[in-house]
Amino acid sequence: MNRSHPRVLVLGGGFAGVGAAHKLEHADAEVVLVDRHDYHTFQPLLYQVATGLLETTAVGHSLRDLVERHDNAAVHQATVTAVDLDAREVHFDVLEPITYDYLVFGLGAQVTFFGTKGAAEHAFPMYTLPHAVHLKDHLLERWEAADHDPTLIEDGALNVVVVGGGPTGVETAGAVAELYRGDFTKDFPTITPEQARVILVEAGPELFSMFKPKLREYAANALAERTVEVKTGALVASVSPTRVTLKSGEELQAHTLVWGAGLQGNELVKDLGIELQRGDRIGVGADLTLPGHPDVFVVGDVAAITDTETQQVLPQLGSVALQSGEHAGETIARRIAGKKTKPFAYHDKGTMAMIGRGAAVVQMLGGRTMTGKKAQAAWGSVHLALLPTNEDRAKAVVDWAGSAFTHQRSGRITVGSE
């Protein structure tokens, strides 16, 4: 290729892509970062936007801002439409094709509804910032509508069904219940808690299957304290704007179904002409490259990375995405500089999830566990470390501290177009 510096094309500005770009800051390379959004999304806190605890700018950060200090980097907002591995070229909707010397493929995962009838049209997924804002606006709209027309309450206007007993579903159900039983009780004093149910539905026999039994029990109690009704062994068969029907035939009156279950690799992976692993993820070697393509690194949620210690495929987590992206960036920088490289080794900071204010669970690699406020503090510090800038950390801390003192969610307003 006729360029003075090798070009590193980074696809995706999530934890993985941003991690790679940061490690390439001082590389003798031209770094091009492309994302369909002009911002980086901090997915672990989306549920806090959806329930009015955090503002959107604490969770979405300008990508240009993130690489502003990098003299060798450019950011483009465009959607990737195809990747031609043989031609070493990527195609976009609004950009001319870009060729690369090194490719970092970090396009993440996407929601799958497992073919559930009506879900694509009527469910509220929780994967992007627009999803979180859409859910918040919808919840607020339903409460205002019920305030105008109380007959809507009998029809289930305020009931929320959350699908998925993993961290996304549990965190969302807990946060919605706290919004309902906290702020909304004061905002709408004529509506009683029984008129606004939060129901968590999980297909498997229990919630939080990745945690030890005592943490599962803790989570079940914490949800019960927050009046979340839990239905395990229950599959959603179909969804309409006002009803959720379970496979058992039971019909739940609910105008909101939040989808916190099921991810699959970005749809583009199906056209790469390679064999995919479970969940449409791309299997990578110990250096995170695509087998047969030593200049193509696959990182983050879209990659199936086998942990060198446990021989298990690493979970789709922010820390895995950040560390794998950083490793790819570092490896490329070292290769350009003619230095030796190392295989990827994941540093596990524990598995953790929030259930609500003062209620969280943490399971460390060695088997140590934490619950309650201690676990919440550990969750806070791990997640603050993942936030891309100090400014974002400060914003999150201010919002969390504010809500801890006042128990108020100042983001519970709708700002639509007039």
Q: Does 44 bind ligand FAD (CB under 6 A)?
A: yes
Secondary structure of residue 312 in the 3-state scheme: coil
Q: Does 211 bind ligand FAD (CB under 6 A)?
A: no
Query: Which range in 39-47, 191-199, 247-255, 394-402 contacts ligand FAD by CB under 6 A?
Result: 39-47
Residue from the set 6, 8, 15, 265 that interacts with ligand FAD by CB under 6 A: 15
Both tokens of 3, joined, read: 């360029």
Residue 159's Cβ-count burial label (10 Å; 0-12, 13-18, 19+) is: buried
Q: Does 32 bind ligand FAD (CB under 6 A)?
A: no
Q: Does 37 bind ligand FAD (CB under 6 A)?
A: yes
Helices (H), 182-317: 183-187, 213-225
Residue 90's Cβ-count burial label (10 Å; 0-12, 13-18, 19+) is: buried
Q: Rounded to 10 degrees, what is the CA torsion of 114, 115, 119, 124?
A: 30
How many CB atoms are located within 10 Å of the residue 273 CB?
A: 9
Radius of gyration over alpha carbons of the chain, in Å? 22
Site string (72-91) toward ligand FAD, x via CB under 6 A = -------xx-----------
Q: Does 321 bind ligand FAD (CB under 6 A)?
A: yes
Secondary structure of residue 110 in the 3-state scheme: strand
Q: Which helix (H) or strand (E) holds 63?
A: helix 63-66
- Residue 27 vs 129, nearer CB to ligand FAD: 129
In angstroms, how far apart are the furthest CA atoms of the chain? 71
Q: Does 330 bind ligand FAD (CB under 6 A)?
A: no
Query: Within 227-286, which residues bind ligand FAD (CB under 6 A)?
Result: 266, 268
Q: Does 127 bind ligand FAD (CB under 6 A)?
A: yes
Nearest approach, Cβ of residue 382 and ligand FAD (Å): 8
Residue from the set 169, 182, 318, 329 that interacts with ligand FAD by CB under 6 A: 318
Quick one: the chain helix, strand, coil %, rounded to 5? 35, 25, 40
Are the C-beta atoms of residues 104 and 11 closer than 8 Å to each other? Answer: yes
Q: Does 118 bind ligand FAD (CB under 6 A)?
A: no
Residue from the set 8, 9, 10, 16 that interacts with ligand FAD by CB under 6 A: 16
Q: Does 166 bind ligand FAD (CB under 6 A)?
A: no
- Residue 191 vs 299, nearer CB to ligand FAD: 299
Q: Does 14 bind ligand FAD (CB under 6 A)?
A: yes
Secondary structure of residue 330 in the 3-state scheme: helix
Q: Does 12 bind ligand FAD (CB under 6 A)?
A: yes
Q: Does 46 bind ligand FAD (CB under 6 A)?
A: yes
What letter does residue 407 receive in the DSSP assignment? -
Q: Does 101 bind ligand FAD (CB under 6 A)?
A: no
- Residue 246 vs 302, nearer CB to ligand FAD: 302
Tell me, yes or no, if 154 is annotated catalytic.
no
Active-site residue among 96, 121, 141, 171? 171
Both tokens of 402, joined, read: 């504010």
The site for ligand FAD, by CB under 6 A, has a size of: 33
Query: Which range in 20-28, 37-45, 153-161, 231-239 contacts ligand FAD by CB under 6 A?
Result: 37-45
Contacts of 239 (CB under 8 A, 6+ apart): 116, 117, 118, 119, 121, 122, 123, 245, 257
Half-sphere exposure of 342 toward its Cβ, with a 13 Å CA cutoff? Answer: 8
Alpha carbon of residue 2 to chain centroid: 39
- Residue 126 vs 244, nearer CB to ligand FAD: 126
Residue from the set 6, 17, 52, 174 that interacts with ligand FAD by CB under 6 A: 17
Q: Does 6 bind ligand FAD (CB under 6 A)?
A: no
Both tokens of 317, joined, read: 């987590």
Residue from the set 118, 265, 300, 350 that interacts with ligand FAD by CB under 6 A: 300
Are the C-beta atoms of residues 136 and 412 closer than 8 Å to each other? Answer: yes
Nearest approach, Cβ of residue 204 and ligand FAD (Å): 18
Both tokens of 139, joined, read: 């919840």
- Residue 83 vs 254, nearer CB to ligand FAD: 83
Contact residues for ligand FAD, defined by CB under 6 A: 12-17, 34-37, 41, 43-44, 46-47, 79-80, 106-108, 126-127, 167-168, 266, 268, 300-301, 316-319, 321
Q: Hey, which residues are catalytic here?
A: 171
